[in-house]
Amino acid sequence: MTGPTIPLGSLTQREHRSEIQCQACGSTRVTRLSMNLTDGTPVEFTSCHRCEHRTWEHGGDALTVASVLDKARRV
């Protein structure tokens, strides 16, 4: 089963950049990936190229690193 198609962004092609900003410094130079953790939880991972701040979100809510690691742990 596949979800809706989301256009890919680009750091090198201004017209293809997304409007996502880093929550820590406000930079738009971020990478954002959609993925499923080991337990099946869908998350959005965002990493900033300027300050290296990283976030994981599920359903619009931020996840702690500890909860991500717990959900990603193999049983």
- Give the domain ranges of the chain: 18-72
**Residue pLDDT, tens place only, 1-41:** 556 665 665 556 666 556 789 999 999 899 999 999 999 99
The backbone torsions φ and ψ at residue 62, rounded to the nearest 5 degrees and listed phi first, read -70, 140
pLDDT band at 42 (very low <50, low <70, confident <90, very high): very high
29/46 Cα distance (integer angstroms):
10
> What pLDDT is recorded for position 65?
94
Mean pLDDT for the stretch of residues 31-56:
95
Nearest to 17 by CA among 29, 33, 4: 29
Please state the rounded mean pLDDT for residues 48-72. Answer: 95
End-to-end CA distance of the chain: 24
Instruction: Say what the pTM is.
Output: 0.72
pLDDT at 68 over 80: yes
All residues at 6 or more sequence positions from 75 whose CB lies less than 8 Å from its CB, including other chains: none
